[in-house]
Amino acid sequence: MTTKTYSVTGMTCAHCVASVDAEVRLIPGVTDVRVDLAAGAVTVRSDRPLDDDAVVAAVDEAGYQVAR
């Protein structure tokens, strides 16, 4: 089990949270996603090593950016 937290910029509302959650859950192996709007953070759990590029791409697809 792998858990990583990413800082995400641009999220301002519940719709933002839902969009990021839905896209990140599509990554193979992801078992849980927690989006903290106030902190601008997304915590991802996976049953395999997480591909950071896949997470960045999923957040981008939702319309937001992972802060690096």
Query: Which CATH number covers residue 6?
Result: 3.30.70.100
Q: How many other C-beta atoms lie within 10 A of the C-beta of residue 21?
A: 15
Helix axis angle, 52-62 relative to 14-25, nearest 10°? 140
Total number of domains in the chain: 1
Full residue range of the structural domain in which residue 36 is found: 2-66
Q: Which residues pair with 34 in a beta bridge?
A: 43
Q: What is the mean pLDDT of residues 31-58?
A: 97
Using the predicted structure, report yes or no on whether residue 63 has a pLDDT greater than 90. yes
Residue 64 to residue 42: CA distance in whole angstroms: 12
Q: What is the pLDDT of residue 68?
A: 77
**Residue 41: which H helix or E strand, with range?**
strand 41-46
